[in-house]
Structure 1
Amino acid sequence: MIEFAMPALGADMDEGTLNEWLVKPGDTVSRGQIVAVVETTKAAVEIECWQEGVVGELLVPVGQTVSVGTPLATLLAPGEAPAERPAERVPAPVTAVDAPAPSVPAPQPRTPPPPPPAGPHHRRWVSPAARRLAVSLGVDVESLTGTGPQGAVVISDVEHAAAHVQAAAPEVVPVAPAPAVSAKEAAARRGAEMRKSIAAAMSRSKREIPHYYLADEIVLDPALSWLNERNAARSITERVLPAVLYLKAVALAAHRFGEFNGFWRDTGFAPGDAVHVGVAISLRGGGLVAPAIHDVAGKKLGELMADLSDLVARARAGSLRSSEMSDPTITVTNLGDQGVDSVFGVIYPPQVALVGFGRPAQRVRAVDGGIRIATTVHASLAADHRASDGHRGALFLSAINDLLQQPDLLEN
C-alpha cells in the first residue's frame, strides 16, 4: 500500500484546498490519470496520479485545506487486499481450579454494525473566485445551477443567487449589517493572496540562490524573415508566433548545456530527464503563473504553437494540471511587444535558470562591417552559481543566439 500525497504545485504553494474527488475507493487508476481537483491561490489544478493501483481509502474530505505532503489517499497494488482494522481483544477465560464459577450474563441486544463509509463527495466544479464570493455573501454553492463551461458555477451565478435571496427576504430592521463583498473586491483579495504567495517564493529564491546575470543582443531579422515565409503557407489559425522560436531555441540550448536544465536539491544538482519549459503567463486579474510545456526540444513548431495557445487559455481560465505546475526544468519569460527592452528575472526554485526576452525593436546595429537598422531583442540569463558559472552561461546564451540565426534548425 502506498500513500498519494498533496503535491507541491510550485515554489509559492504551501497548502491547497481539495475541491473534488474524481475517484472512489475500489477504482483502478493508471499513470497520468486525473484523480482530484485542488484549489491554490492561483488556479484550480487537476491532480494527476503517477502510480498504478486501486484506490484504497480517501483520507481527505472535499473542502478541507491541507499542507503540501499531506496524504490524500491510499493506493493498493493490483491484487493487494486493504489492511484490516485490528479487532478488539477478547479476554481469555479463567482456567484456575479455585476460580469462582462464572456468572451468566443477561443477554444484551446486538448493536447493528456501523454503516459503510460514504463514497467520495462529487460535486460540480466551482471557480475559485466564485467560491470565495459565495462564502463572503453566505450563498450555498452546492444549491446553485452553474452556467459556466460543463456546468461550472461562476461569479455571475453567485451574484444572481445572492440578489434573489435578498429580494425574497422579509423586511427587517438591519442591525449593523456587514458590508457586502462585490466580485471586484473578491478578485482584489484573491490577487492580494496571490501576490503574497509570489512574494514568499521570490524572497526564498533571492535568499537561497546565488544569482548571476548575463545578457546578449540577438538580431532577429533572419528568424523573422524565415518565419514570415513559413506562415504565408499556413492558415491564420496555424501561424506560429516568434515566441515559439524563443522556446524551441532555449530548449535545444538547454538540452546541450544540461547544467541549466534541472533542479537544485539538498544533495546538489539533479539534471532534468527532458526539457520542460515553464512559460511565464500574466493573468488578467493580476499575478503570474509559469506552467510547463513538456518535451519542448523534441516538438515541431506547429505542435509547440498549439501547446502554447492551449496553456495560456487554460492558465487564464484557472484550469491547469499538477504536472504542468510541478515539473518545469527551466523557465522562459517573454515580455513581447508591449514590454520594455530588457528583463532580468528571478529563478523559480528549485530550478537553476531563467531566460528572459525583452521587446523586439528596430535598433542601430553594426552588421557585416557596416551600420544598419536591424530588429533585435535583448535576451538575458539568470542562473544559479551553485550549478554553473558565467563562462558556461555565456556559451549557453550564445547557443540560443546561434539557433535563432539558423531557424531551419528549429523546425524539427
Structure 2
Amino acid sequence: MGIFAMPSLGADMEAGTLVEWLVKPGDEVHRGDVVAVVETQKGAIEIECFQDGKVQELQADLGATLPVGAPLALILGPGETAPEPKKPKAPAVAAKPEAAPNEVVADKPKAAPGPAVAATLPRSATAASPAARLRARELGIDLATVTGSGPAGAVLLTDLEAPKSAATRGQTAAPMAEMRRAIAAAMVRSKQTIPHFYLSETIDVQLAHEWVDARNADRLPSDRLLLGALFVRATALAAAKVASVNGRYVDGAFCPSDRVNAGIAVALRGGGLVAPALIDAGAMSVDETMAGMRDLVLRARAGRLRSSELTDGSITISSLGETGAEAMAGVIFPPQVALVGLGAPKLRPWVVNGAVVPRTVVTLTLSVDHRVSDGRQAARFIAEFQSRIASPETL
C-alpha cells in the first residue's frame, strides 16, 4: 500500500495545483502510467505513477493547491486489501450555559453550505492544454474566442496571457510572470549553492555539418536532421564515458546516473524555459534522438510534459541553435552537476593540414559542479565530445 503524493518537479517547486485526474477508484495502474495533471509555474505536467497496483481512493480535490509531499491518492499493491476505516471519535459535548432569568436564548442561524467542489473541470470543444483550461475558467474566458498557437491550433497558457486576452479582462497581463519567478528562484539557488567552474573549447564541426546535409538531401522536411541532434548524441556518449558529469548531487553526496538522461533546454513561446529529459539518450540512434527532441519541444510548448522528464535529467544541453551568440556559459540545473552550453555554428578560418581554410566551428562551454568534478574530468568530457562529433557516422 502506498501513498501517491505531490511530487517535486524541480528545485524551485514548493506546491502544485491538481487540474485533472486520469484515473478513478478501482482502476489498475502500472509504473510509468500517467495518472494526473498538475499545474506548476512551468505549465501543466503529466504526473506518473511509480508502482503497480489499484487505485483505492483519490484524496485530493481538483483545483486544490497542495505542497510537495501532500497525499493525492491511495494505491493498493498486488494482493493488498484496503485498511479498515478508523472509527471517528465521538465529539465532546460542551455544556450549555444556563440562561439568566428572563433571558431569551436565540438559536444561531445555520451557515449556508459552501459551494460543492466540481468533480471534473469544465470541458470545451476547443482544443486546449489543461493549464489553459484551468486559467480560462479562473478568468471567465470562453476558449472558443481565443486563437490558439499550439499544435493543430490548440489554446496554450501563453495565449491566455497575451495582451489581447488582457484587454478582454480589462487588465494588464504579465506574460509568463510565474515561470520567470520560478526560473529566477532556481537559478539563484544554483549560483548560491553550486560552485561552478567553466571550460571552453572551439570545435571543428565541418564534417558533422556536411554529414547532416548529405543525410537530409533526399528527406522530407519533417524527417530532416538538425546538427543539434548530433550534439545531443555526442553529449550522451561522452557523458557515459565521464561519469562525474552525469548524475545528481543530493543530500551532500554525488549520485551518478546509470544512464544518460539528456535534458534539452526548450525556449517557450512568449518567454520562459524548461529542460525536459530525453530518457536514456545514450541508447538512441541519431534519428531516434531527432524524433525525441521534436516530441519534447512540441509537448513542452503544448504543456504536456511528464513528471519523469522534468525530474530524471542527469545532464543538460543548452544550444543557441543555428543563429545567435558565439558562446554561452550556462547555469547548472540543480540537482544536476553539469551543463553543456553550445554557441551558434560560425564559419571561421581554420588550420587543416597546415593550410588555412574556411570551416564551420562551434564553441562548447561546459559548466561543472566543483564539489563533484575538477578540470581534468571536464577536459576529458570535452575531448570525448570532440572525438565523437569529428566522426558523425559513428554517432
TM-score by length of 1: 0.80
How far did residue 86 of structure 1 move?
A: 2.5
The 1:260–1:235 alpha-carbon spacing in structure 2 relative to 1, beyond 3 Å, is: same
Matched residue SS, 1:10: coil
Which deviations, in whole Å up to 9, do the C-alpha atoms of 1:47-66 show, x marking residues without a partner?
11020011121111000011
5+ unaligned residues in a row in structure 2: which ranges?
A: 91-116
Matched residue SS, 2:66: strand
Equivalent in the alignment of 1:181: 169
Distance 2:391 2:74 in 1: 51
Which deviations, in whole Å up to 9, do the C-alpha atoms of 1:369-406 show, x marking residues without a partner?
22222110100100001111011101111110111111
How far did residue 232 of structure 1 move?
A: 2.1
Equivalent in the alignment of 2:383: 398
Equivalent in the alignment of 1:206: 191
Letter paired with 2:360: T
Distance 2:152 2:76 in 1: 32
Distance 1:64 1:398 in 2: 49
Give yes or no for the alignment of 1:299 onto 2:284.
yes
Which deviations, in whole Å up to 9, do the C-alpha atoms of 1:221-268 show, x marking residues without a partner?
111112222222433322111000000000000001011110001141
Aligned counterpart for 2:229 among listed residues 244, 267, 282: 244
Distance 1:338 1:345 in 2: 17
State the identity %: 48
Distance 2:199 2:13 in 1: 29
How far did residue 6 of structure 1 move?
A: 1.1
Equivalent in the alignment of 2:8: 8
Letter paired with 2:366: L
Distance 1:131 1:12 in 2: 22
> Retained in 2: the 8 A contact 1:24–1:119?
no
How far did residue 180 of structure 1 move?
A: 5.7
Which deviations, in whole Å up to 9, do the C-alpha atoms of 1:145-167 show, x marking residues without a partner?
999789977689989xxx9xxxx
The 1:218–1:157 alpha-carbon spacing in structure 2 relative to 1, beyond 3 Å, is: closer
Give yes or no for the alignment of 1:87 onto 2:87.
yes
Equivalent in the alignment of 2:246: 261
Give yes or no for the alignment of 1:347 onto 2:347.
no
> Retained in 2: the 8 A contact 1:129–1:190?
no
Distance 2:23 2:202 in 1: 51
Equivalent in the alignment of 1:192: 177
Equivalent in the alignment of 1:52: 52
Aligned counterpart for 2:315 among listed residues 330, 344, 348: 330
> Retained in 1: the 8 A contact 2:3–2:72?
yes
Aligned counterpart for 1:131 among listed residues 131, 134, 137: 134
How do 1:104-123 residues align onto structure 2 when only pairs under 5 Å count? Answer: 121=120
Which deviations, in whole Å up to 9, do the C-alpha atoms of 1:149-208 show, x marking residues without a partner?
89977689989xxx9xxxxxxxxxxxxxx996369x44xx34111111000000000011
TM-score by length of 2: 0.84
Equivalent in the alignment of 1:388: 373
My pick for the range that moved more, 126-135 or 244-253, is 126-135
Distance 1:324 1:225 in 2: 32
> Retained in 2: the 8 A contact 1:17–1:63?
yes
Count of paired positions: 362
How far did residue 316 of structure 1 move?
A: 1.1
How far did residue 332 of structure 1 move?
A: 0.2
Give yes or no for the alignment of 1:43 onto 2:43.
yes
Distance 2:130 2:273 in 1: 18
Letter paired with 1:132: R
> Retained in 2: the 8 A contact 1:22–1:122?
no
Equivalent in the alignment of 2:27: 27
The 1:338–1:226 alpha-carbon spacing in structure 2 relative to 1, beyond 3 Å, is: closer
Equivalent in the alignment of 1:372: 357
User: Which has the greater radius of gyration?
Assistant: 1
5+ unaligned residues in a row in structure 1: which ranges?
A: 91-117, 164-177
> Retained in 2: the 8 A contact 1:214–1:382?
yes
How far did residue 41 of structure 1 move?
A: 1.4
> Retained in 1: the 8 A contact 2:14–2:68?
yes
